[in-house]
Amino acid sequence: SKKEVKENTDNKEVASEKDNKKDEKKPLKIGVIYLTAEHPYYQAHAMHTQNYTAEKGIKLIELDGKVDQANMANQMENLVSQKVDGIIYCLLEGTAGSADINMAQEAGIPVITFAIKHDPKTADATFVGIDEKSAGALGGVEAANKFMAQFPDKKAKIAVIEMTGVSASTDRSDGFIEGFQSVITDAEVVVRLNGEGKKDKAMAVVEDAIQANPDINVFFGANGDQGLGALAALEAQGRGTIDTEIVISHDGSEPELLKIADPESALKIANANLPKDLAEATVDTILEIINGEREMKNTDDIFVPSAVITGDDIEAAQKFLKEQYNSDTQL
Amino acid sequence: MNSRLNSRYLQRFMIIGILLVLCVVFAVMSEEFFTYINIRNILRQQSMVAITAAGATFVMITTGLDISVGSTIALSGVVFAKLVQGGMPLLPACLIAILVGGIVGLINASMIVGAKINPVIATLGSMYAVRGIAYLVAGGTTIANGLPKNFNVLGRGYIGPVPIPVVIMILVYIVFHFVLSRTLLGKYTYAIGGNKETARLSGISVAKVMVLLYVITGLLTGLSGTIMASRLTSGNPQIGTGFEFDVIIAVFLGGVSTTGGEGTIVGTFIGAMIVGVLSNGLNLLGVDPFYQYIIKGIVLVLAVMLDMALKGNGLSLKSLNKRILAKS
Amino acid sequence: MNSRLNSRYLQRFMIIGILLVLCVVFAVMSEEFFTYINIRNILRQQSMVAITAAGATFVMITTGLDISVGSTIALSGVVFAKLVQGGMPLLPACLIAILVGGIVGLINASMIVGAKINPVIATLGSMYAVRGIAYLVAGGTTIANGLPKNFNVLGRGYIGPVPIPVVIMILVYIVFHFVLSRTLLGKYTYAIGGNKETARLSGISVAKVMVLLYVITGLLTGLSGTIMASRLTSGNPQIGTGFEFDVIIAVFLGGVSTTGGEGTIVGTFIGAMIVGVLSNGLNLLGVDPFYQYIIKGIVLVLAVMLDMALKGNGLSLKSLNKRILAKS
Amino acid sequence: MSNYILEMNDISKSFPGVKALQNVSLKVKYGEVHCLMGENGAGKSTLINILAGLLEKDTGEIFIDQKPVSINNPHDAYRNGISFIFQELSVVDTLTVEENMTLGFESSYGSIVNKKENIKRVKNILQKLNIDILYNSYVGDLTVCEKQMMLIAKALSQDSKIIVMDEPTASLTNKETDELFKMIESLKEEGVTFIYVSHRFEDIFTIGDRITVFRDGKNAKDLIVKDTSEEEIIRYMVGRNIEDTFPKRNHEIGETILEVEKICAKELIKDVSFQLKRGQVLGVSGLAGAGKTELARALFGDNPIISGHITLKGQKINLNKPQDAIKSKIALLPEERRTQGIVGKMTVRENISLVVSNRLSKLCVINRKKDRQLAKKYIKDINVKTPTPEQIIRFLSGGNQQKAIIGKWLATEADIFLLDEPTRGIDIGAKSEIYEIINGLTKSGKAVLLFSSELPELLGVCDDIMVMNNGRLAGVLSNEEATQEEIMKLSVGGSDHE
Ligand SMILES: Nc1ncnc2c1ncn2[C@@H]1O[C@H](COP(=O)(O)OP(=O)(O)OP(=O)(O)O)[C@@H](O)[C@H]1O
Ligand SMILES: Nc1ncnc2c1ncn2[C@@H]1O[C@H](COP(=O)(O)OP(=O)(O)OP(=O)(O)O)[C@@H](O)[C@H]1O
Ligand SMILES: [Mg+2]
Ligand SMILES: [Mg+2]
């Protein structure tokens, strides 16, 4: 293990600073299970996690959860058997996640959950994420204000495009509706559609929905692709401009921002998670536990704020894109 | 009197009947259903499934199968977007993307025909591999930046009042209906599906025909992929999951049997439309997604059962046919 | 000399060879691979696919197919959780959940055997419908509240050092290996797959056998579903998408042919393990998910090709056999 | 009190467009061999399928031991003590001989197969019948003849009261046929009753007791074998006299068209040399497994030639695949009609024009008019009994399917016809029509290789006869010197040299 020693000395300061508890010569090994590898947000999140852990000289084991709780349970078992020093777990379903956490903790491995919270009744662990409901509400308020400015005489009719059966997605949508209705109390939710999280599926269901209800004028996509899918369906019908409706998405990925920057487009608001901040918060938190600064069974919720990006401030959007998605694309 | 033609007409008629029943039900339940725009929507939405299914019909008549189509539409769409993003004009980019689909078909064929691998395993293998390649080509995410305005013409444009994807679909169906019912390739397809050994001993180059059919399916899937990308105005590597099921449903609903040697292009078209009308209608009625699953499943099975009952348990199509013959 | 036995041993040996090659490759590349805990993990993780695949082997030997299994594990898991949540003790709840799987199998059978619907369409139909029902039973989301601590025993418990799901899997494989290779049911399964008409002419009640096989598959899928729910300590209606592909891959890798009449339970077991080892190994090596798709696709196809090459293109099983006979 | 073991009264059955049986009756006495005869499509198999519970009768009653029975599926038939050998070979290729022979009749402890007992039973019966097949071979590896023998053994082993055989000898050679007849005789002595369908008069006159003749789905006549003659039977079958089964041959033999020099092929064929001349009918004889079919396939590019030369019209040719042969104007009528000859789901027309479709098409588009004309011509020429050219070929009677396939190959207008058992399952009238066709072919300067296990046919039709043994040529006999004894001697004699 001479090689390892050498590697370690490259990051001497960081490593020696953090590794007071562990064997000095061995780099920390942290496992991460992402919800999916196929999603722009998680790709950005993974990139920041990689950068941040590399800075700290931590060995990272990344696994793709494939939006499948059974698969994630498998991967938790695999990480535990590899005796990693800590696990960042982007689970899909709280209770199942709890069982996995208990298993890992029994093996002496600390786990924090990310994005979707474990069931606090059955497991004790720290959670890092955004408060889906308030994040959704933030966008809802913003959207309602925009709506009032744009269509002062119209009644707001909302369509939600979400991943049916996924709790985070539902929370997000509920939050959006709450936020929106807190401003425009008579706003009506016309349909909640299953976009399966994908652009092609979202486009198809929205096409049908606006056929049945042509007067829907607010579309909330519970992630980026679903928002973009809704917009694509509107555009295909000759709508999708700021004169006809507003579309809100949740992610803040590059394709969304491109649309937001387009003054014509109906996509005007994106609830934006901050992959960089979130990624760093997860790594910091798991390190705190590994280093004994936080109990393994500490049950804090560490919320990282989310942002709302609008077409009104392109400069901010540009900055967000660079910082969070490391993209130089000109909006 | 040409009764083969007759029997085919009859078959079409029955499956059309089911389609009409569905349409009537939805038209009664929802005013929006039977409007020009909605019909146009259905046709456009199903055009990609239908175009791919035209090729899959040939493959499945020979008892082959291609479940890589869902990944292939993602790959060809991503390639299309990537090339256009890189500055290539639309037409050549589109052609190359279609060709990419053809290459996937060729690889499938070389596994199935050349190495004699079970088509399910072979195309499951390419389903995985092609999906991975699509992600790599796209660099993991959506290709949306730097696409020209007219990138969406293929998917969203019109010729007169008819959407371009629908025009393409109709052309594909005219051509492939002709190919299946009138040309050597069509006849050889039926012969291979009916009895591969007899076909071989009759001097038909079974391998060549099969390769051609998989390549055709690949090309048509490539075409669907470019239309899809243009419709979405972006190249998305994650799209098309479950697409293979839609294609298979359309083909089997259309009258291809698992034992091969039977089926028509028109039948497949109607099969694709049944699938489209069903989900469109349920969406129009605002049916809860959970109930949609249930209804979709039941209607699928009912459609096939009704079709078979009308045909007399799948056999009396022939007896009907024979009765007609007896009179003539 | 019993050459049937010989050829079967040979077949097993070859597919085992491929599994071993994979294991050796991963063991060389990753220290963690060949540890007790990791092997235990692989076995436990694949136990549900393997248990369902044991039943699917029978069905697929008869050239049938069941793609509703992914939805069925969701439904039976949800039912299990719901009943336990409602206060029922574990054992009866578990049995009822397994029975629910059997009922899905019975419905599949009545569509396929009774109404003579193409098995792909029939089980696609039930795949949709059963998924919808699972959501409805679960009220749209996960059932997690009010489950007792020991709910997870079935999925996470141990008997000695061996995980309970693995124990169950081993029992299932012993029983069904015996059934397939030694009983009338097994023999009739091979006969129906080899030539349905001959089986019928020999006085075998083809319909009864087929119904039984679909029901068995349903019951085993129900069992997998309860194990899954217990493993996840909750009833999740969205679980199991793509599960049907894993099962089909295991069965085909294990040596069942699309034309039917061939295959073994041991082969299927090894097929399931190949799938498990592959994804476990790739994860251990930390291969990028997109490359994992590609490698998985390629290895799948290569495994089948290697298997066929070793057996001499799938044909020389027979010629080998002949040579053995010639000598005897 | 009647002394019939089986009575079928007033049986009618129609298929759409075809009245297959009209008020037919069949009365079978205890312990006799009762023959059914009739032209192709007369309804023999239909009647048997009704007895087996495979087809539902429209009208009529069945009595066994004077008691009315209803038979709805094969199982019912077995329960009533009837076993069957069906016209179409019904085997499971992926199972072994033992597994096939015991299928549905296994010895078992409950539902666990008693393998040992089954093997013992099968070995016994194979030995008793003197059938030279290993109990543990895969049936897919057997020849047609061996499969047929196995099915016979299976039917005989079931301890049935009545055994029904639909053309059991169609694919047997003399040796096996003799073996079968010995077996039938001895079972007859034990009181077993047989229903025997055949187009072969030798069979009927060797073992038959009484005959029921069908014609166009109706009873034509009941005859007693020892009081009747071939001519009388034919008269009732066809409604006219057939002068001569083997029509006169009076034509010139021309120049050599095919020269085969010392070819060895991948399967079985070793050092075979011969010449085939225009206008010649060259017979190929040999026991089952002698390599007749392998030779035919080698000459058709379907059994790779390892060494030796084939010269066609003075030019050396390579035959690597069937296409090559077809291009060289060589046609092969394959041995197994159902698996190699027809495409069951296609119409008669489509089957007939399958090989020549490319000739009937321009730029790959098939000319429908020509296609129909072609089909009509051959249906008429060879007298295929089908309601229309658009009938699905699967629904024709066995013999008519065979005729349609002959038409398919005649349509190729080849120079050399390789006919592998062309008259298998064909009635006597149609046989002589086919011999006429062979004559017509040779008259127009074509050449025919006739692979056959029926010696009378070879003697009646061929100019010369080659005898094969274990893949080699054991000898060539001219028509004048050839006799059944001579051929048999060469067929078996070769093995001494090995
Ligand atoms: N399933 C079917 N559908 C339609 N017609 C049929 C079917 N089976 C038989 N036929 C017709 O019934 C008639 C009697 O056929 P059958 O097979 O009984 O003749 P056969 O006497 O056995 O002739 P062969 O000597 O050629 O075997 C034929 O005209 C045949 O075409
Ligand atoms: N010595 C042998 N070893 C292995 N297989 C053999 C041997 N002899 C014959 N066979 C098999 O037997 C079959 C040869 O029978 P084939 O059909 O050629 O005989 P045939 O002379 O045409 O007689 P028939 O057609 O009357 O059965 C082939 O399938 C071949 O594989
Ligand atoms: Mg017959
Ligand atoms: Mg032969």
Q: Are B229 and B78 in contact (CB under 8 A)?
A: yes
Contact B135 C313 (CB under 8 A): no
| Best A82, A106, A166 residue to mutate vs chain C (most C CBs within 10 Å) | A82
Position B242 pLDDT exceeds 90: no
Is B261 an interface residue toward D (CB < 8 Å)?
yes
Q: Do chain A and chain C touch with ≥3 beta carbon pairs under 8 Å?
A: yes
Q: Ligand 2, atom 13: nearest CA belongs to which residue? A: D289
Looking up tokens 């209800």, which residue turns up? A213
pLDDT of residue A34 exceeding 90, the answer is yes
pLDDT of residue B300: 85
Judge if the beta carbon of residue D402 lies within 6 A of ligand 1: no
Instruction: Using CB atoms, pick whichever of A37, A70, A170 lies closest to residue C232.
Output: A70
Q: Let me know if chains D and A touch, i.e. at least 3 Cβ pairs under 8 angstroms.
A: no
- Report the percent of chain C where pLDDT is more than 70: 90
pLDDT at A94 over 90: no
Q: Are D331 and D405 in contact (CB under 8 A)?
A: no
Work out how many CB contacts closer than 8 A connect B with D: 105
User: Which subunits sit against B, judged by 3+ Cβ pairs under 8 A?
Assistant: A, C, D
CB under 8 Å, gap of 24 or more: what pairs does D478-484 form? D482/D458, D483/D459, D484/D455, D484/D456, D484/D459
Which positions 260-319 of D are in contact with B (Cβ < 8 Å)? 300, 302
Please compute the mean of the pLDDT values over residues B195-217 and round it to a whole number: 96
Q: Who contacts D306 (Cβ-Cβ below 8 Å, separation ≥6)?
A: D264, D265, D266
Residues of D in contact with C321 (CB under 8 A): 137-138, 141
In this structure, what token pair is assigned to residue B275? 């699938």
Q: Is the pLDDT of residue C30 over 70?
A: yes
What does the pLDDT average to over A256-260? 92
Is residue A68 helix, strand or coil?
A: coil
Q: What is the CATH number of the domain that holds C89?
A: 1.10.3470
What percent of chain A has a predicted confidence (pLDDT) above 90?
A: 65
Tokens found for residue A128: 């890092």
Distance CA B228, CA B101 (A): 13
Q: What is the pLDDT of residue B11?
A: 57
The answer for residues whose C-beta is within 8 angstroms of residue C49's C-beta and 6 or more apart is C224, C243, C246, C247, C250, C272, C275, C276
User: CB-based contact (8 Å) between C136 and chain B?
Assistant: yes
Residue of C44, C147, C236 lying closest to A69 (CB–CB): C236
Write down the residue that tokens 């007067």 correspond to. A215
Is there an atom of ligand 2 within 6 Å of D334 CB? Answer: no
- Biggest alpha carbon–alpha carbon distance for chain B: 66
Structure tokens at A71: 């698969």
Q: How many CB pairs below 8 A link C and D?
A: 90
The predicted-structure confidence for A41-59, as pLDDT tens digits, reads as follows: 898 999 999 999 999 999 9
| Residue owning tokens 């299994």 | C69
> What sign has the CA pseudo-torsion D118, D119, D124, D126?
positive
Chain C residue closest in CA terms to B294: C129
**Is B199:D340 a contact under the CB 8 Å cutoff?**
no
Give me the DSSP letters along D405-465: HHHHHHTTT-SEEEEESTTTT--HHHHHHHHHHHHHHHHTT-EEEEE-S-HHHHHHH-SEE
The alpha-helical segments, DSSP class H, found in chain B are 3-29, 36-61, 69-85, 90-109, 119-137, 153-156, 164-182, 184-194, 196-201, 206-232, 243-253, 265-284, 289-310, 316-327
Residue environment code for C193-213, b if the CB has 16+ CB neighbours within 10 A, otherwise e = bbbbebbbbbbbbbeebbbbb
- Looking at per-residue pLDDT, the higher value among C95 and B118 belongs to C95
C81: enclosing H helix or E strand: helix C69-85
Cβ–ligand 1 contact at D429 (below 6 Å): no
Q: D297 CA distance to ligand 4 centroid (A)? A: 10
Residues B82, B137: contact at Cβ < 8 Å?
A: yes
Question: Closest residue (by CA) to atom 28 of ligand 1?
Answer: D41
What is the H or E stretch that residue D22 is in? strand D18-29
Task: Test D347 with B197 for CB contact under 8 angstroms.
Answer: no
Name the residue facing B201 among D322, D344, D345 (closest C-beta): D322
Residue D452 CA to its chain's centroid (Å): 10
H helices of D103-173, in order, are: 115-128, 144-156
pLDDT given at position C163: 95
Q: Classify B68 as helix, strand or coil.
A: coil
D329/B203 Cα distance (integer angstroms): 11
Task: Output the six-digit token pair for A218.
Answer: 């607010």
Domain count, chain C: 1
8 Å CB contact of B120 and C252: yes
CA distance A323 to A317: 10
Which whole number is the average pLDDT over B74-100?
97
| Tokens encoding D496 | 């001494």
Mean pLDDT of A110-124: 91
Average pLDDT, chain C: 88
From the CA of D437, how far away is ligand 4's center (Å)? 21
Candidates C128, C140, C298; nearest CB to B129: C298
CB under 8 Å to C53, separation ≥6 — which residues?
Answer: C247, C250, C251, C254, C268, C269, C271, C272
8 Å CB contact between D36 and D200: no
CB proximity under 8 Å: C 75-114 to D: none
State in Å: Cα D402 to ligand 4 middle. Answer: 16
CB contact under 8 A, B121 and C293: no
CB-facing half-sphere around the CA of A98: CA atoms within 13 A: 19
pTM for this entry: 0.89
As a whole number, mean pLDDT of residues A269-292 equals 94
What are C245's two structure tokens? 């592909």
- Predicted confidence at residue D287, as pLDDT, reads 85
**Ligand 2 nearest-atom number relative to CA D286:** 21
Q: How far apart are CA C218 and CA C127, in angstroms?
A: 12
Q: Give the integer Cα–Cα distance in Å for C255 and C15.
A: 8
pLDDT of B157-202, one tens digit each? Answer: 999 999 999 999 999 999 999 999 999 999 999 999 999 999 999 9
Closest by CA to A159, choosing from A231, A105, A109, A237, is: A231
D387·B200 Cβ contact <8 A:
no
8 Å CB contact between B288 and C140: no
**Cα separation, D181 vs D175, whole angstroms:** 10
List chain D pLDDT tens, one digit each, 498 residues: 468 999 999 999 998 878 999 999 999 999 999 999 999 889 999 999 999 999 999 999 999 999 999 999 898 999 999 999 998 888 999 999 999 999 988 999 989 999 999 999 999 999 988 888 999 999 988 888 889 899 999 998 888 899 999 989 887 877 888 888 998 998 899 899 999 999 988 899 999 999 999 998 999 999 999 999 988 998 898 877 766 778 877 778 889 999 999 999 999 999 999 999 999 999 999 987 889 999 999 999 999 999 999 999 999 999 999 999 999 999 999 998 888 999 999 999 999 999 999 889 888 999 999 999 999 999 998 889 899 999 999 999 888 999 999 999 999 999 999 999 999 888 888 888 889 889 989 998 999 999 998 888 999 999 999 999 999 999 999 988 888 888 988 888 744 433
Q: Ligand 1 pocket, D40 CB below 6 A?
A: yes
Please report, in angstroms and rounded to a whole number, the separation of the first and last CA atoms in chain B. Answer: 8
Q: How far is C63 from chain A (nearest CA, A)?
A: 29
Ligand 2 centroid from CA D455, angstroms: 18
Q: Which of C187, C199, C322 is the closest to D141 by Cβ?
A: C322
- Domain of residue C76, residue span: 2-327
Q: What's the gap in Å between D140 CA and the centre of ligand 2? A: 12
Most confident of the following: B281-290, C101-110, C152-161: C101-110
Amino acid type, A263 = P
Count of alpha carbons within 13 angstroms of residue D335, beta-carbon side: 20
Q: What is the pLDDT of residue B12?
A: 56
Q: Residue C87: left (phi > 0), alpha (psi -120 to 50), or beta?
A: left
pLDDT of D246: 82
Q: What is the DSSP string of D265-322?
A: ESSS--SEEEEEETT-EEEEEE-TTSSHHHHHHHHTTSS-EEEEEEEETTEEE---SH
